[in-house]
A and B are shown apart, each in its own frame.
Chain A
Amino acid sequence: MIMKQNNELQLIIKHFFRNILGVAGFLIVMLMVLSAIFADFIVPYDPIALNIKERLQGPSFSHLLGTDQLGRDIFSRMVMGSRVALQVALPTVFGAVSIGFVLGMIAGFGPKWLDNAIILLLDTLRSFPTVMFALAVVALVGPSLETVIFIIIVTSIPTYGRVVRTQTLSIKSSEFILAEKSMGSSTARILLVHILPNIFGPIAVLSAMEIPTIIGLEAGLSFLGMGVRPPTPSWGSLLNEGYTLIRNTPWLLIAGGVPLIITTLGFTFLGETLRDAVDPKLRKRN
């Protein structure tokens, strides 16, 4: 049994690293994570230190991407922005996955009325127009990192909840669970021992695939001025400043947009390859 699992894992890893895109995605994600962790050592300047005399300068050797309206080094702010992106992405995925897991499993395994109630809740959350919901929440509690995380969690719960529910339903009716049941196993045991591990794969893949959406959403909210508080740099707020200064300097837009695109691409490549690697059917096909 253990042998078999090891083989499976080896197969997944082997397949993963055969795929160029997967490797590229992996490298991009690593780069992003490392720059977020070691941002303090990478940045040439304090990303929030003002230097009004040197504001709105073009790229030079001292300022690789120039300076913003307050004379802050754009490159340093860009590097620091990766930290905000991760600070939002990780807790959000964790929060949304855990809540989605619980709701989805209850829906899939619980009584019919509870299932219906949860479906209603998930579908309601899903049909909230995201921007309006975000506007209302931000107006209610004010913009901050926590607010952004909350908004994105609420809007992404339905995605996970639905996947978990469908998976639970299909596993629940599979023969080995029916056999377990007839042997008198408790619901909790079935959930923890059989269903949880089986749903884990698809959810892990889904999480990797959702991260780019989440990072994009955070940037979108910050772009609308509903994200992190100033002077904290985020890619979205760089884009926001870049939009208002679009005729003065393109560098703010470049510093906010390019890493955002690269990161979302990286996570998407990673997620896709991971999905193909985990799914034996797809592994064979490609």
Chain B
Amino acid sequence: MGKNKIEWVKIPLSRRQMLKSTAAFSAVMASSSFSNAWAQSGSTLRGRTYADMRSLDPAFSQGVSDEEIHACIYNKLIQFKPGSKWEWQLDAAADIEQVDTTHIKFALKDNIGFTNGFGAMTAEDVKFSFERVADEKMESPNKPDMDALSHVEVTGEREGVIVLKSPFQPLWTISLPYITGNIVSKKAFESVGGRIDTEVVATSGPYTHFSWEPKQKTTLRANPDWKGEKVAFDEVQIFHIDDEKTAEIAFEAGELDFTRVSLASLERLKANPPSNSTVEGFPSLYYVWVGMNLNNPKLSNLKLRQAIQHAIDVPSILEAAYFGVAEASTGIIAPGLIGNRASNKVPSEANIEKARQLLKESGESNVSLRISILNKQANVTTAQIVQANLAAIGISLEIDLHEAATFWELGGNENLELVINRYSMTPDPYYATSWFICEQAGVWNWEGHCNEEFDRIHKEGPGELDVGKRNAMYQRAQDIMEESGAYKFITHEYTPNIYRNSIKPALRPDGLPLYRYFQRS
């Protein structure tokens, strides 16, 4: 392993802290390694994913459910670190250093090899893996996360430099430790024409892909040639169960070791957990809000929109739709991330007096609106509360249910009025603001929100290396959203997990599993 040869030219404070904690983490891992030695015989970990596997090619990964598998069978330069803070740790990289704002040097470990005889992992593989995602011809849906990449310079068999087109801080929070960071074998992929679907050609992670039974489960097996930290399980089975309720029943029947459970059951499970299991909750990053289409003439009156903002009572929604366990949100960026706001400009609690006043000032009367929602229980419940809230100030609201495919087409619909929406999120604020810029209007910016200052923040944010300044920028961005009157922020949701006490889960701060780090207790 190469020692630190390069001086840190410019390293943000938070990154330095991260490195320190990474070192501490490695130490812990080293001391615990002997205790894993016994944990090797005939053990199976049974987890659950909400969506079926769709692709084993990281370039065509469909998000979290594919990544849960990819993270076990592929390696990345750096990985998310399990725990309650968003941090990363070294994986395939022995060293990784930000030389300047657009150059990142890395050196690979020398003990990582690909299965099926595809040899050791080299810097060429890193170059191939990153550049193929960024390559327009590849048509990877994950391209935006590698958009900032200019190229990877190979400087040695296991050394190279990532060269960016422009400074891009989310590289450390998304591009490298998440989907696009997975390193595949160049030789292996080229031998099958450059991309794969649901059959692996070569993997390098601590687990290998053993089988996939569509709509049922994915089975991973410990990689016998893995030279890194020994894994705790011989086999990992990830069951595809889309409904959380069903997963709970499966857990209680002893068919799963780890699963997310529904909010509805949290109280019951906490009060009376199945024997030998633990229930734990995590704040998630998702953001849910009620949006109003600014381009619809029915909602063009700012005072009317503000009246609606003030009429909606978030605490009731949290109580009924989220079973009183989720917190009210202050925007699109969750606590723990750069840019999170401490409070809302429009309070979460309804203010009926103010709402009535605003409605009166708006001069609108006999307002009747429609709210479009995706056909999911939490949305249906939320919509009915919003309906009751608006009825209290004399606005009638009709609820329009949509199944998934029609719902996700609504963005381009000019007749859209109110909508309950929920977007997924990665641990970098740039990911959240990217949907609400002018360019996205009618695509993913369903409210048609368009603000020059907001767009500038989104453009400059990723290049801002000063954490404090970056923080303030994204906070301001959310102020702008709220001032437009088009948003009432609801919640970031909550992720309750349940697991057997025989295992020690390794989770991201938002409660999502990092199966490769799961341990036996």
CB atoms of A70 and B402 under 8 A apart: no
A126 within 8 Å of B by Cβ?
no
Query: How far, in whole Å, are A244 and B387 apart by their CA atoms in the complex?
Result: 22
CB atoms of B264 and A248 under 8 A apart: yes
28 contacts between A and B (CB under 8 A): A48-B384, A49-B388, A50-B316, A50-B385, A50-B388, A52-B320, A55-B319, A69-B321, A70-B381, A71-B320, A138-B403, A139-B403, A139-B405, A143-B401, A225-B403, A229-B399, A230-B384, A230-B399, A230-B401, A231-B387, A231-B399, A241-B377, A244-B245, A244-B377, A245-B264, A246-B245, A247-B264, A248-B268
Interface string of B427-449 (1 = CB under 8 A from A): 00000000000000000000000
Closest A residue to B384 by beta carbon equals A231
- Judged by DSSP, the binding face of B is helix
CB atoms of B375 and A69 under 8 A apart: no
Checking A70, A143, A248 against B384 with a beta-carbon cut-off of 8 angstroms, the contacting residue is A70
Collect the chain A residues with CB atoms within 8 Å of residue B464's CB. none
Collect the chain A residues with CB atoms within 8 Å of residue B377's CB. 241, 244
Binding site for B on A (CB under 8 A): 48-50, 52, 55, 69-71, 135, 138-139, 142-143, 225, 229-231, 241, 243-248
Collect the chain A residues with CB atoms within 8 Å of residue B265's CB. 247-248
CB atoms of A52 and B401 under 8 A apart: no
CB atoms of B320 and A70 under 8 A apart: yes
11 other A-B residue contacts (CB within 8 Å) besides A50-B385, A52-B385, A229-B399: A50-B316, A52-B316, A69-B320, A70-B320, A70-B381, A139-B403, A225-B403, A230-B384, A231-B387, A246-B245, A247-B265
Tell me the minimal C-beta distance from B277 to chain A in angstroms.
15
Known: A70-B384, A244-B245. A139 touches B320 (CB 8 A): no
CB atoms of B319 and A247 under 8 A apart: no
Query: How far, in whole Å, are A208 and B265 apart by their CA atoms in the complex?
Result: 42
In the complex, how many residues of chain B place their beta carbon closer than 8 angstroms to a beta carbon of chain A?
A: 28
Closest 3 A/B residue pairs (Cβ): A225-B375, A50-B388, A52-B316
Closest A residue to B398 by beta carbon equals A229
B383 within 8 Å of A by Cβ?
yes
Query: How far, in whole Å, are A139 and B264 apart by their CA atoms in the complex?
Result: 28
A-contacting residues, B371-394, CB 8 Å: 375, 377, 380-381, 383-385, 387-388
Closest B residue to A229 by beta carbon equals B399
B32 within 8 Å of A by Cβ?
no
Collect the chain B residues with CB atoms within 8 Å of residue A247's CB. 245, 248-249, 264-265, 268
Closest A residue to B316 by beta carbon equals A52
Collect the chain A residues with CB atoms within 8 Å of residue B320's CB. 50, 52, 55, 69-71
Query: How far, in whole Å, are A49 and B391 apart by their CA atoms in the complex?
Result: 11
CB atoms of B406 and A139 under 8 A apart: yes
Collect the chain A residues with CB atoms within 8 Å of residue B249's CB. 247
Query: How far, in whole Å, are A135 and B375 apart by their CA atoms in the complex?
Result: 13
Closest B residue to A225 by beta carbon equals B375
B400 within 8 Å of A by Cβ?
yes
Collect the chain B residues with CB atoms within 8 Å of residue A50's CB. 316, 320, 384-385, 388
Collect the chain B residues with CB atoms within 8 Å of residue A49's CB. 388
Collect the chain A residues with CB atoms within 8 Å of residue B401's CB. 142-143, 225, 229-230
Query: How far, in whole Å, are A142 and B377 apart by their CA atoms in the complex?
Result: 17
Closest B residue to A53 by beta carbon equals B319
Collect the chain A residues with CB atoms within 8 Å of residue B383's CB. 230
